[in-house]
Amino acid sequence: MDCISVFDMLKIGVGPSSSHTLGPWRAAEAFLKELEAASIFDKISRVRVDLYGSLSLTGKGHATDYAVMLGLSGADPEYIPIDDISSIINTINEKEQLNFGNKFLVNFNPKSDIVFNREFLPFHANGLTFTAYYESEEYSSTFYSIGGGFFTKEDDLSSSSDITCAFPFLFNTSTELLAFCDQENKTISEIMFENEKTIRTEDEISYELKRIWETMLECMYIGCHTEGILPGGLNVKRRAFEMHNNLKGSTPYSTPQEWITSIRKTKVYFRQILKWVSCFALAVNEVNASLGRVVTAPTNGSAGVIPAVLMYYLVIENHKGGQKEIEQFLTTAGVIGSIFKKGATISAAMGGCQAEIGVSSAMAAAALCELMGGSPAQVTIAAEIAMEHHLGLTCDPIGGLVQIPCIERNAMGAIKAINAAELALDTDPLTVKVPLDKVVNTMWETAKDMNNKYKETSEGGLAVAVNIADC
CATH code (residue 54):
3.30.1330.90
Q: What is the pLDDT of residue 160?
A: 39
Residues 195, 155, single domain; the answer is no
Q: Which amino acid is at 428?
A: D
CA distances from 274 to 45, 110, 301 (A): 55, 44, 21
Q: What are phi and psi of 148, to 5 degrees?
A: 70, 20
* pLDDT per position as a tens digit, 124-152: 989 999 999 999 999 999 999 998 899 99
Which residues constitute the domain of residue 23? 17-161
Residues 80, 178, single domain; the answer is no
pLDDT tops 50 at residue 159: no
CB-based contact 110:69 (threshold 8 Å): yes
Q: Calculate the average pLDDT of the chain.
A: 94
Residues 240, 110, single domain; the answer is no
Residues 371, 461, single domain; the answer is yes
CA gap 129, 131 in Å, rounded? 7
Is residue 167 domain-resident?
no
CB-based contact 335:177 (threshold 8 Å): yes
State the DSSP H helix or E strand holding residue 350, giving kind and residue range, or none if neither: helix 348-351
Q: What is the pLDDT of residue 471?
A: 62
Q: At 470, is the pLDDT very low, low, confident or very high (cuts 50, 70, 90)?
A: low
Residues 120, 195, single domain; the answer is no
CA gap 124, 117 in Å, rounded? 14
Is residue 1 domain-resident?
no
Give residues with Cβ within 8 angstroms of 384, minimum separation 6. Answer: 362, 432, 434, 435, 436, 438, 439
CA gap 149, 156 in Å, rounded? 16
Residues 41, 144, single domain; the answer is yes
Crossing angle of helices 323-343 and 357-371, in 10° steps, is 140
Q: What is the pLDDT of residue 118?
A: 86
List for the chain the helix, strand, coil content (%; round to 5).
55, 10, 30
CB-based contact 421:369 (threshold 8 Å): yes
Q: At 429, is the pLDDT very low, low, confident or very high (cuts 50, 70, 90)?
A: very high
* pLDDT per position as a tens digit, 91-115: 999 999 999 999 999 999 999 999 9
* pLDDT per position as a tens digit, 60-73: 889 999 999 999 99
Residues 155, 184, single domain; the answer is no
Q: Which amino acid is at 196?
A: E
Q: What is the pLDDT of residue 188?
A: 98
394: left (phi over 0), alpha (psi -120 to 50) or beta: beta
Nearest to 359 by CA among 381, 316, 315, 391: 391
Task: Classify residue 121 by its DSSP letter.
Answer: P
Residues 335, 393, single domain; the answer is yes
Alpha-carbon dihedral sign for residues 278, 245, 231, 82? negative
Q: Considering its fold, how many domains does the chain have in total?
A: 2
* pLDDT per position as a tens digit, 281-331: 999 999 999 999 999 999 999 999 999 999 999 999 999 999 999 999 999
* pLDDT per position as a tens digit, 160-216: 334 468 999 999 999 999 999 999 999 999 999 999 999 999 999 999 999 999 999
Last residue of a domain, one of 161, 189, 222: 161
Residues 462, 438, single domain; the answer is yes
Q: How many CB atoms lie within 10 A of CB 429?
A: 15
Last residue of a domain, one of 161, 193, 209: 161
Last residue of a domain, one of 161, 184, 214: 161
Residues 192, 112, single domain; the answer is no
Is residue 274 domain-resident?
yes
CA gap 346, 146 in Å, rounded? 8
The mean per-residue pLDDT over the stretch 261-276 comes to: 94
Is residue 309 domain-resident?
yes
Is residue 166 domain-resident?
no
The mean per-residue pLDDT over the stretch 258-269 comes to: 94
CA gap 139, 34 in Å, rounded? 10
Crossing angle of helices 376-388 and 357-371, in 10° steps, is 150
Residues 280, 226, single domain; the answer is yes
Is residue 259 domain-resident?
yes
Global pTM? Answer: 0.93
* pLDDT per position as a tens digit, 25-65: 999 999 999 999 999 999 999 999 999 999 999 888 899 99
Label residues 212-235 b or e (16+ Cβ within 10 Å = b): bbebbbbbbbbbbebeeebbbebe
pLDDT tops 80 at residue 256: yes
Q: What is the pLDDT of residue 155?
A: 75
CB-based contact 443:355 (threshold 8 Å): yes
Give the SS3 label for residue 96: coil
Is residue 130 domain-resident?
yes
Is residue 307 domain-resident?
yes
CA gap 229, 102 in Å, rounded? 32
Residues 106, 206, single domain; the answer is no
